[in-house]
Amino acid sequence: MAKQQQTIGASIGFNGVGVHSGEAVELTLHPADAGTGVVFQVTTPSGGIREIKAVSANVSSTDLATVVGEPNGPGVATIEHLMAALYAMEIDNVIVEIEGREVPIMDGCSHAFVQSIREAGFVPQLAARRYVRVLKPVRVEMGSAYGEYRPHDSTRFEIDIDFSSAAIGRQSFKADLTPDLFCEEISRARTFGFMKDVERLWASGHALGSSLENSVVIGDDDGVINPGGLRYVDEFVRHKALDAIGDQALAGARILGCYRSYRGGHRLNAMALQALLSDPTAFEMVEVPVRTGTRARRELSIGAASPAYEPQKL
């Protein structure tokens, strides 16, 4: 775990479509000075530029995706896959120039962002990286779902999902986050949804850019209809872990602690992070992590489907 802040070694361009808007998007990552954080530069309808810092206080919606910006003004949607890549690859400072209102979905995960970041390289900066160290448990609940932070000496995620669908069922992913762990075991896990929900989503103006090229789709017979099948046997929970990483990146600093969730989604992730950051007795800011250079711990279990509460994928 690096002690210094980092930015990227060169500007990186991406082209794609928004998974919900269906609109074409151009996005460019630019190196940024130490202390900048992740800042979106959005072109307004009048041709001006609005800067939106990617922090929890600027989250305006968590319906189906994480959105930063003004509820009825300039904003950027579906930022979680890009934010997960930046956070996992330990990029602290970057300007995200975007022509559009939604980060391009690419192939439904973070892999394209990770590859390009690695190719651009990393530039250490003359500023210490700051960490949010969790001091005590903080928990939020939504029905039978919950999200919580607990003290831990590294950045750890323990994600459990439980769907009544036989294609998903009960799955668990637990790991200490490192760049290599993210690249190899999380970055290629795609967003997913159910064919039965498509017409409802289209009617509400969502999933207009969704396709089998960028989403895992579960058909009416409760099977995966993508011709290539799954990339991981437990791709669904790995994508939920990817989303949780992207949502945690909005803390504005790296978190030393364990984030656990059960049947979670973007809304629950945002609620848990807000609960942590709003309690000054629950965390402290530090510049030196408790331990460095440790190997990631990884645990995996897949269980049978359990009928019960099935959350909306936020």
Contacts of 280 (CB under 8 A, 6+ apart): none
Q: What dihedral angle (degrees, nearest 10) is formed by the CA atoms of 232, 168, 84, 274?
A: -160
Q: Is 266 a catalytic residue?
A: yes
Q: Which CATH superfamily is domain 131-303 in?
A: lpxc deacetylase, domain 2 (3.30.1700.10)
Give CA–CA dist 176/294, Å, rounded.
Answer: 9
The whole-angstrom separation of Cα 271 and Cα 273 is 6
> In terms of CATH architecture, what is 4-128?
2-Layer Sandwich (3.30)
Radius of gyration in angstroms for the set of CA atoms belonging to the chain, rounded to a whole number: 18
DSSP three-state, residue 49: strand
Q: Fold match between 4-128 and 131-303?
A: no
E strands within 163-288? 170-176, 192-194, 216-218, 254-262, 283-286
Distance between CA atoms of 229 and 150, rounded to whole angstroms? Answer: 35
pLDDT by position in tens, the chain (length 314):
568 999 999 999 999 999 989 999 999 999 999 999 999 999 877 778 999 999 999 999 999 899 999 877 789 999 999 999 999 999 999 999 999 899 999 999 999 999 999 999 999 999 999 999 999 999 999 999 999 999 999 999 999 999 999 999 999 999 999 999 999 999 999 999 999 998 788 888 888 899 999 999 999 999 999 999 999 999 999 999 999 999 999 999 999 999 999 999 999 999 999 999 999 999 999 996 534 444 443 444 333 332 232 333 33
**Residue 81 labeled ligand binder:** yes
Please state the pTM of the whole predicted model.
Answer: 0.90
Domain ranges within the chain, ordered by starting residue: 4-128, 131-303
Contacts of 48 (CB under 8 A, 6+ apart): none
Tell me: is residue 220 an annotated ligand-binding position.
Answer: no
The Cα–Cα gap between 39 and 49 comes to 12
- 239 labeled part of a ligand binding site: yes
β-strand partners of 75: 69
* DSSP letter for each residue of 233-272: TTHHHHHHHHHHHHHHGGGSSEEEEEEEEES--HHHHHHH
